[in-house]
């Protein structure tokens, strides 16, 4: 019998008989490992436990406690859900059913209109399929055989997916159910432990509004019920913190039927927005940025030159002026380039750091719109840095330091990902390798751990993405740093070097907040509307006990105004308890109650939205305390 050598992640080498399955290899190492095994990674590729090893290579057993293991399990659950739906509503056509962050979905073409009431029916049928413990098997089919299989099922979406393929096509079977899939999967349906279907939504086939609207069912699954319960609690907490709900309650913003995806900011929302913008400006001035503003519309030819036309036109809006085509900008970078080109630059001028709070518009499908999280019109806190090649690393580190500082102000932990050249990229591999190495070197010099996302860069350059984590444990990709050697080439940018000759600058694109609207949504949910005092639209609510105390409340208001403290006076003829409760519901950090005693003593009775009654303060003492809190940008 032929023996093969398998190298394990720790460097150990084991010998097994050629033809040994990954499951058998796991059992030879440890009974516990065999029990926890989900699949294997052989020579970098995920394989089913039933996969037979016939050559030397690197083997890693993927277990239930790994992200890959959870992903494989969730994809198996999506197949079980599809099987259940076809049992309940025969004739249902299957589209796609991938995993996503924290779960999975499957798209269905069916006559029955699914509602949330149907989810329990589907879950019950899924439970039967799991109890039946079907073996899940993989088959490799020639293209002709695969087409014949799916034609016999009238599976039009699967036929479209395999159209034009000339290599072997894999399908997976469990009981009467068969689906087109790359895999891998759990070895049997009985391995599924804890799952929950969450919602029903509409989705166009392949995300194209010209195609048929399908019905999408979302769900999640875990290897332990305790993990599912914890996740569902987080979802419940997230629902309480929904920025759309809080935005209405605190009168921050709205989105109306006359402008889906185009948010209206109300006076209080504008206060919050302006405070964030002023903070942004202050920090950028400290770091040597100049603020610019570029037009919202520019001629179509510019977008051909920049490459956006080839890579982004389906997400752009267009107009015509005097028989010439114009595009509404989806990104600020071409405008920043034109700003750089307005004059000749010397090597002494570089780096040039141009910041812009730039309004951009992108065509998003109506089904993807979600409050301020996904809109069609938003402001990017963009900056474009033009630099010499010898300045690249220092500038990247400077941006990393800025992002780190800003996220710490809001109390956000974060992790970092490095994204490399995508399939639709402009430029050759040598330029991409140079840019990617520069980003990697900066991260390593800062001592930052990072994950590599192969093929997920922008079309013009690799990027570093910062994923912040909110208090509910969700992660959001906000800040990004993109290094670009290509657009300076396409626009023939140059500076005059020390030798008097033209040299090509390097361009760095970056955002810190990302989209300002989305960042406001994240802050709203993170703080559940109880913004830190420095951010709160109203920082102090003045509550006179009776009408006689209004003049004193107005005196205090005038003093607060001198120090730039934002206030309101509750002048209603209501009971004091009701006024306090409503101020707390509005998440106002401080309430100053003034009655006869306070008026006679020249004091204020201070209440905090979280800590309750803080006692009587002299007005000067209170102002000193709150202004210090605002200046230091303290969190509650």
Give the end of a domain, one of 240, 271, 300.
240
Instruction: Give yes or no for residue 636 having a pLDDT over 80.
Output: no
Pair 455, 408 in one domain: yes
Is 534 part of a structural domain of the chain? Answer: no
Secondary structure (3-state) at 630: helix
Residue 210 and residue 113 share a domain: yes
Q: Is 581 a catalytic residue?
A: no
pLDDT at 62 over 80: yes
Is 80 exceeded by the pLDDT of residue 427?
Answer: no
Distance (Å, whole) CA 74 – CA 563: 55
Q: Is 174 marked active-site?
A: no
pLDDT given for residue 255 in this prediction = 92
**Whether residue 86 sits in one domain with residue 10:** no
Provide the percentage of residues in the chain whose pLDDT is more than 70: 100
Residues 346 and 454 in one domain: yes
With 0-12 / 13-18 / 19 or more C-beta atoms within 10 angstroms meaning exposed / middle / buried, residue 86 is buried
Estimate the crossing angle of helix 516-526 against helix 267-286, to 10 degrees: 110
Let me know if 463 is a catalytic residue: yes
pLDDT of residue 379: 96
Whether residue 388 has pLDDT greater than 90: yes
- Band (133; pLDDT cuts 50, 70, 90): very high
Tens digit of pLDDT for each residue in 227-284?
999 999 999 998 899 999 999 999 999 999 899 999 999 999 999 999 999 999 999 9
CATH number (domain holding residue 512): 3.30.930.10
Q: How far apart are CA 336 and CA 510, in angstroms?
A: 12
Given 75, 463, 549, 609, the catalytic residue = 463
Same domain, 481 and 568: no
Does some domain include residue 82?
yes
| pLDDT for residue 34 | 93
Summarize the confidence of residues 462-483 as an average pLDDT: 89
The DSSP line for 342-401 is: TS--BGGG-SEEEEEEEEEE----GGG-BTTTB-SEEEEEEEEEEE-GGGHHHHHHHHHH
Give Cα separations from 166 to 15, 143, 161, 169 (angstroms).
36, 6, 12, 9
Has 470 been annotated as catalytic?
no
Q: What is the mean pLDDT of residues 129-141?
A: 96
Helix (H) or strand (E) holding 414, with range, is strand 414-419
Tell me if 315 is assigned to some domain: yes
The answer on 58 and 75 residing in a single domain is: no
**93 lies in the same domain as 57:** no
Which one, of 489, 554, 533, lies nearest residue 628 by Cα? 533
Indicate which CATH number applies to the domain containing 105. Answer: 3.30.980.10
pLDDT band at 311 (very low <50, low <70, confident <90, very high): confident
Out of 47, 374, 509, 510, the active site residue is 509
Name the active-site residue from 83, 174, 215, 380: 380
Rounded to the nearest integer, the mean pLDDT of the chain is 93
**CATH number of the domain where residue 53 is located:** 3.10.20.30
With beta carbons less than 8 A apart as the criterion, state whether 67 and 38 touch.
no
Nearest to 359 by CA among 274, 282, 295, 292: 295
Q: pLDDT value at position 428? A: 75
**pLDDT tier at 307, thresholds 50, 70, 90:** confident
pLDDT of residue 315: 87
The average pLDDT across 370-382 equals 93
What are the backbone angles phi and psi of residue 272, rounded to the nearest 5°?
-60, -45
Residue 74, pLDDT above cutoff 80: yes
Does residue 478 carry a catalytic annotation? Answer: no
Kindly state the average pLDDT of the residues 425-453. Answer: 85
Domain match, 518 and 584 both: no
pLDDT mean over 341-346: 95
- Helix 267-286 to helix 392-410 angle (10° resolution) is 140
Lowest mean pLDDT among 266-275, 366-375, 402-411, 499-508: 366-375
pLDDT surpasses 90 at 623: yes
Query: Tens digits of per-residue pLDDT, 182-216?
Result: 999 999 999 999 999 999 998 889 877 788 999 99
Q: What average pLDDT does range 163-178 have in this prediction?
A: 92
Residue 105, domain member (yes or no): yes
Does the residue 277 lie in any domain? no
Give the range among 37-46, 474-483, 590-599 with minimum mean pLDDT: 474-483
Report, as an integer, the average pLDDT of 151-171: 91
Does 331 lie in the same domain as 206? no
Confidence of residue 434 (pLDDT cuts 50, 70, 90): confident
384 given a catalytic annotation: yes
Report, as an integer, the average pLDDT of 13-25.
Answer: 95
User: Which one from 196, 376, 384, 579 is the annotated catalytic residue?
Assistant: 384
Which residues constitute the domain of residue 41? Answer: 3-63
Three-state secondary-structure class, residue 33: helix
d(Cα 367, Cα 632) in Å, to the nearest integer? 41
Give me the DSSP letters along 120-170.
Answer: HHHHHHHHHHHHHT-B-EEEEE-HHHHHHHHHHTT-HHHHHHHTT--S-EE
Segment 507-517 mean pLDDT:
94
Whether the predicted pLDDT of 11 surpasses 90 = yes
Whether 325 is a known active-site residue: answer no
- The mean pLDDT value for 296-321 works out to 89
Distance (Å, whole) CA 517 – CA 91: 43
Domain boundary among 208, 240, 272: 240
Counting the structural domains of the chain, the total is 4
Q: Are residues 59 and 94 in the same domain?
A: no
Tell me, yes or no, whether 225 lies in a domain.
yes
Say whether both 521 and 545 belong to one domain: no
Predicted local distance difference test score (pLDDT) of residue 629: 96
Closest CA to 447 of 491, 401, 483, 378: 401
Q: Would 387 be classed as within a structural domain?
A: yes
Q: Quick one: average pLDDT of 333-361?
A: 95
The answer to the question of residue 198 being in a domain is: yes
At residue 509, the pLDDT reads 94
Residue 136's pLDDT is 97
Q: How far apart are CA 213 and CA 225, in angstroms?
A: 34
Whether 571 and 590 map to the same domain: the answer is: yes
Which of 40, 63, 86 is at the close of a domain? 63
Tell me what percent of the residues of the chain surpass a pLDDT of 90.
82
Domain containing residue 589: CATH number: 3.40.50.800
Angle formed at CA 623 by CA 594 and CA 270, multiple of 5 degrees: 90
């Amino acid at each position: 019998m032929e023996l093969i050598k398998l190298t394990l992640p720790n460097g150990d080498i084991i010998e097994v008989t050629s033809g040994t399955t990954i499951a058998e290899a796991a059992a030879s190492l440890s009974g516990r490992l065999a029990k926890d095994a989900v699949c294997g990674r052989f020579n970098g590729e995920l394989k089913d436990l039933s996969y037979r090893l016939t050559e030397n290579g690197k083997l890693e057993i993927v277990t239930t406690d790994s992200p890959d293991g959870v992903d494989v399990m969730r994809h198996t659950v999506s197949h079980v859900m599809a099987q259940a739906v076809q049992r309940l509503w025969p004739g249902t056509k299957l589209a796609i059913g991938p995993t996503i962050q924290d779960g999975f979905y499957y798209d269905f073409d069916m006559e029955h209109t699914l509602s949330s009431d149907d989810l329990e029916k589907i879950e019950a049928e899924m439970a039967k399929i799991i109890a039946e413990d079907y073996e899940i098997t993989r088959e490799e089919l020639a293209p002709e055989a695969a087409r014949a299989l799916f034609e016999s099922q009238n599976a039009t979406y699967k036929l479209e997916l395999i159209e034009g393929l000339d290599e072997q096509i894999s399908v997976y079977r469990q009981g009467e159910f068969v689906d087109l899939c790359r895999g891998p999967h759990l070895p049997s349906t009985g391995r599924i432990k804890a799952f929950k279907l969450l919602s029903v939504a509409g989705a166009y086939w392949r995300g194209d509004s010209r195609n048929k609207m399908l019905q999408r069912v979302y769900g999640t699954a875990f290897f332990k019920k305790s993990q599912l319960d914890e996740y569902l609690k987080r979802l419940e907490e997230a629902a309480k913190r929904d920025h759309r709900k809080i935005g209405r309650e605190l009168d921050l913003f709205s989105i109306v039927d006359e402008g889906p995806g185009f948010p209206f900011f109300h006076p209080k929302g504008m206060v919050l927005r302006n405070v964030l913008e002023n903070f942004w400006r202050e920090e950028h001035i400290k770091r040597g940025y100049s603020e610019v503003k570029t037009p919202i519309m520019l001629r179509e030819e510019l977008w051909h030159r920049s490459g956006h036309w080839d890579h982004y036109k389906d997400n752009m809006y267009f107009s015509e002026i005097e028989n010439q085509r114009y595009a509404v900008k989806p990104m600020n970078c071409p405008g920043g380039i034109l700003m750089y080109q307005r004059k000749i630059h010397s090597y002494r001028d570089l780096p040039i750091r141009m910041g812009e709070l730039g309004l951009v518009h992108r065509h998003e499908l109506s089904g993807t719109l979600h409050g301020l999280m996904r809109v069609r019109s938003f402001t990017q806190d963009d900056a474009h840095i033009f630099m010499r090649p010898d300045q690249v690393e220092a500038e990247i580190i400077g941006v990393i330091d800025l992002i780190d500082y800003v996220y710490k102000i809001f109390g956000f932990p974060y992790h970092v990902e490095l994204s490399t050249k995508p399939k639709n990229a402009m430029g050759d591999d040598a330029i991409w390798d140079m840019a990617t190495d520069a980003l990697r070197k900066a991260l390593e010099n800062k001592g930052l751990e990072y994950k590599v996302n192969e093929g997920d860069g922008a079309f013009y350059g690799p990027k570093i993405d910062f994923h912040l984590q909110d208090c509910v444990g969700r992660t959001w990709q906000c800040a990004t740093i993109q290094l670009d050697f290509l657009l300076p080439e396409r626009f023939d940018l140059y500076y005059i070097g020390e030798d008097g000759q033209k040299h090509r600058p390097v361009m760095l694109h970056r955002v810190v907040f990302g989209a300002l609207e989305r960042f406001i949504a994240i802050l709203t949910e993170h703080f559940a509307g109880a913004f830190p005092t420095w951010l709160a639209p109203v920082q102090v609510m003045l509550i006179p006990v009776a009408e006689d105390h209004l003049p004193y409340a107005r005196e205090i208001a005038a003093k607060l105004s001198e120090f730039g403290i934002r206030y309101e006076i509750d002048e209603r003829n209501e009971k004091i308890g009701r006024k306090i409760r409503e101020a707390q519901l509005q998440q106002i950090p401080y309430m100053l109650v003034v009655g006869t005693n306070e008026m006679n003593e020249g004091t204020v009775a201070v209440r905090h939205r979280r800590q309750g009654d803080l006692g009587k303060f002299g007005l000067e003492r209170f102002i000193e305390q709150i202004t210090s809190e605002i200046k230091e940008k303290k969190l509650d």
